[in-house]
Structure 1
Amino acid sequence: MDTTATPAPTHATGAGRVPAAPLDAEDRRRLLSGTHHDPHALLGAHPVPGGIAFRTLRPYARAVTLLTEEREVPLTGMGEGLFSGVLPLDSIPAYRLRVTYDGPGAVHEYEDPYRFLPALGELDLHLIGEGRHEELWKALGAHPMTHQGVTGTRFTVWAPNARGVRVCGDFSCWDGSAYPMRSLGSTGVWELFVPGLDEGTLYKFDIARADGTHTLRVDPMARRAEVPPNTASVVTRSSYTWGDDAWMARRTERPVTRAPFSVYEVHLASWRPGLTYRQLAEELTEYVTEAGFTHVEFMPVAEHPFSGSWGYQVTGFYAPTSRMGTPDDFRYLVDTLHQAGIGVILDWVPAHFPKDDWALAAFDGEHLYEPQDRQRAEHPDWGTLIFDYGRKEVRNFLVANASYWCEEFHVDGLRVDAVASMLYLDYSREEGQWAANESGGRENLDAVAFLQEMNATVYRRNPGVVTIAEESTAWNGVTRATHHTGPDGFGGLGFGLKWNMGWSHDSLEYISRDPVYREYHHNEMTFSMVYAYSENYVLPLSHDEVVHGKQSLVSKMPGDWWQRRANHRAYLGFMWAHPGKQLLFMGQEFAQGAEWSQEGGLDWGLLDPAYPARPDHHGVQLLVRDLNHHYRATPALWEQDTSPAGFSWIVTDAAQDNVLAFLRHAEDGSPLLAVCNFAPVVRQEYVLGVPEEPHAWHEVLNTDAARYGGGDIRNVDPLKPEPEGAHGRPARLRVTLPPLATVWLRPE
Structure 2
Amino acid sequence: MTHDQFGGLTGWDFEGFHNGGDTELWRRLGSKVVTVHHPERGEVTGVRFAVWAPNARSVQVIGDFNWWTGDSLHLVPGSGVWATFIEGLGEGTLYKFRIETADGQWLEKVDPMAKFSEQAPANASIVYESKYIWSDDEWVARRRQAKAHAEPMSIYEVHLGGWRKGKSYLDLAEELVSYVKWQGYTHVEFMPVAEHPFEPSWGYQVTGYFSPTSRFGKPDDLRYLIDRLHQAGIGVIMDWVPGHFPKDDWALGRFDGTALYEHADPRQGEHQDWGTYIFNYGRNEVKSFLVSNALYWIQEFHVDGLRVDAVASMLYLDYSREEGQWVPNEHGGRENLEAIDFLRYVNRHLYEREPGVLMIAEESTSFPGVTKPVHQGGLGFGFKWNMGWMNDSLRYLQLDPVYRQYEHNLLTFAMVYQYSENFILPISHDEVVHGKGSMINKVPQDDWRKFATLRAFYSFMWSFPGKQLLFMGCEFGQRPEFNESVSLEWWVSELWGHGGLQRLFRDLNLTYRANPALYELDNEPEGFSWINADDGGHNALSWVRHDTHGNHVACVTNFSPEPLEDYEIGLPAGGSWEEILNTDAPIYDGSGEYGNLGEVHAVDEPWGHWPARANVTVPPLGSVWLRRASGQ
Q: CA deviation at 1:717?
A: 3.4
Q: Distance in 1 between matches of 2:546 and 2:564?
A: 26
Residue of structure 1 aligned with 2:34, choices 118, 141, 145: 145
Match of residue 128 from structure 1: 17
For the residue of structure 2 that corresponds to 1:414, the secondary structure is strand
Please give the per-residue CA displacement for 1:168-196, whole angstroms capped at 9, x wherever unaligned. Answer: 101111111xx111111232111101111
Please give the per-residue CA displacement for 1:130-183, whole angstroms capped at 9, x wherever unaligned. Answer: 22111100110000111111010000001111111111101111111xx11111
Match of residue 32 from structure 1: none
Residue of structure 1 aligned with 2:588, choices 698, 708, 719: 708
User: Is 2:566 the counterpart of 1:690?
Assistant: no
**Aligned positions of 1:212-611 closer than 5 A:** 212-484=104-376, 491-608=377-494
Please give the per-residue CA displacement for 1:336-385, whole angstroms capped at 9, x wherever unaligned. Answer: 00000000000000000000000001000001111011221110210101
Superposition CA RMSD, Å? 1.1
Match of residue 94 from structure 2: 202
Q: Distance in 1 between matches of 2:4 and 2:464?
A: 66
Q: Distance in 2 between matches of 1:597 and 1:248?
A: 34
Residue of structure 2 aligned with 1:733, choices 597, 614, 623: 614
For the residue of structure 1 that corresponds to 2:554, the secondary structure is strand
Q: CA deviation at 1:460?
A: 1.1
Q: Distance in 2 between matches of 1:251 and 1:145?
A: 33
Q: Distance in 2 between matches of 1:435 and 1:598?
A: 37
Match of residue 601 from structure 2: 720
Q: CA deviation at 1:250?
A: 1.3
- TM-score, normalized by length of structure 1? 0.82
Q: Distance in 1 between matches of 2:353 and 2:604?
A: 55
Matched to 1:590, the amino acid is F
The alpha-carbon distance between structure 1 residues 574 and 207, as it changes in their structure 2 partners (threshold 3 A), is: same
Q: Distance in 1 between matches of 2:82 and 2:522?
A: 50
Q: Distance in 2 between matches of 1:128 and 1:150?
A: 28
Matched to 2:49, the amino acid is F
Q: CA deviation at 1:720?
A: 1.2
Contact residue 281 and residue 342 of structure 2 kept, 8 A: yes
Please give the per-residue CA displacement for 1:662-689, whole angstroms capped at 9, x wherever unaligned. Answer: 0100011211000000000011110001
Q: CA deviation at 1:718?
A: 3.1
For the residue of structure 2 that corresponds to 1:696, the secondary structure is strand
Matched to 2:589, the amino acid is G
Residue of structure 1 aligned with 2:62, choices 168, 181, 205: 168
Q: CA deviation at 1:124?
A: 1.8
Q: Distance in 2 between matches of 1:355 and 1:265?
A: 27
Q: CA deviation at 1:509?
A: 0.3
Q: CA deviation at 1:115?
A: 7.5
Q: Distance in 2 between matches of 1:388 and 1:126?
A: 19
Matched to 1:506, the amino acid is D
Q: Distance in 1 between matches of 2:210 and 2:438?
A: 33
Q: Distance in 1 between matches of 2:615 and 2:12?
A: 72
Residue of structure 2 aligned with 1:656, choices 515, 526, 537: 537
Q: CA deviation at 1:255?
A: 1.2
Contact residue 512 and residue 557 of structure 1 kept, 8 A: yes
Q: CA deviation at 1:731?
A: 1.3
Q: Distance in 2 between matches of 1:131 and 1:536?
A: 29
Matched to 2:585, the amino acid is A
Please give the per-residue CA displacement for 1:425-457, whole angstroms capped at 9, x wherever unaligned. Answer: 000000011121001110000000000000011
Q: Distance in 1 between matches of 2:598 and 2:108?
A: 72
Please give the per-residue CA displacement for 1:524-543, whole angstroms capped at 9, x wherever unaligned. Answer: 00000000010000000000
Match of residue 50 from structure 2: 156
**What runs of 5+ residues in structure 2 fail to find an aligned partner?**
38-42
Match of residue 40 from structure 2: none
Q: Distance in 2 between matches of 1:115 and 1:370?
A: 32
Q: CA deviation at 1:719?
A: 1.4
Please give the per-residue CA displacement for 1:540-577, whole angstroms capped at 9, x wherever unaligned. Answer: 00000000111111111111011000000000000000
Q: Distance in 1 between matches of 2:608 and 2:627?
A: 18
Q: CA deviation at 1:117?
A: 5.3
Match of residue 672 from structure 1: 553
Q: Distance in 1 between matches of 2:480 and 2:99?
A: 47
Q: Distance in 2 between matches of 1:658 and 1:475?
A: 32
**Aligned positions of 1:94-109 closer than 5 A:** none
For the residue of structure 2 that corresponds to 1:452, the secondary structure is helix
Percent identity at matched positions?
A: 56
Contact residue 651 and residue 727 of structure 1 kept, 8 A: no
Q: Distance in 1 between matches of 2:246 and 2:75?
A: 28
Q: CA deviation at 1:498?
A: 0.2
Q: CA deviation at 1:723?
A: 3.0
Q: Distance in 2 between matches of 1:514 and 1:298?
A: 34
Q: CA deviation at 1:123?
A: 4.0
Please give the per-residue CA displacement for 1:11-33, whole angstroms capped at 9, x wherever unaligned. Answer: xxxxxxxxxxxxxxxxxxxxxxx
Q: CA deviation at 1:468?
A: 0.2
Matched to 1:709, the amino acid is D
For the residue of structure 2 that corresponds to 1:498, the secondary structure is strand
Please give the per-residue CA displacement for 1:207-257, whole angstroms capped at 9, x wherever unaligned. Answer: 010101110100000010001100100000000000001111112233111
Q: Distance in 1 between matches of 2:152 and 2:196?
A: 32
Match of residue 621 from structure 1: 502
Count of aligned pairs: 623
User: Is 2:8 the counterpart of 1:119?
Assistant: yes
Contact residue 517 and residue 527 of structure 2 kept, 8 A: yes
Q: CA deviation at 1:118?
A: 4.6
Matched to 1:478, the amino acid is V
- TM-score, normalized by length of structure 2? 0.97
Contact residue 167 and residue 205 of structure 1 kept, 8 A: yes
* Structure with higher RCO (Cα < 8 A, 6+ apart): 2
Contact residue 128 and residue 187 of structure 1 kept, 8 A: no
The alpha-carbon distance between structure 1 residues 117 and 529, as it changes in their structure 2 partners (threshold 3 A), is: closer
For the residue of structure 1 that corresponds to 2:177, the secondary structure is helix
Q: CA deviation at 1:507?
A: 0.4
Task: State which drifts further: 441-450 or 705-714.
Answer: 705-714
Matched to 1:535, the amino acid is E
Pick the structure with greater CA Rg: 1
Q: Distance in 2 between matches of 1:569 and 1:387?
A: 42
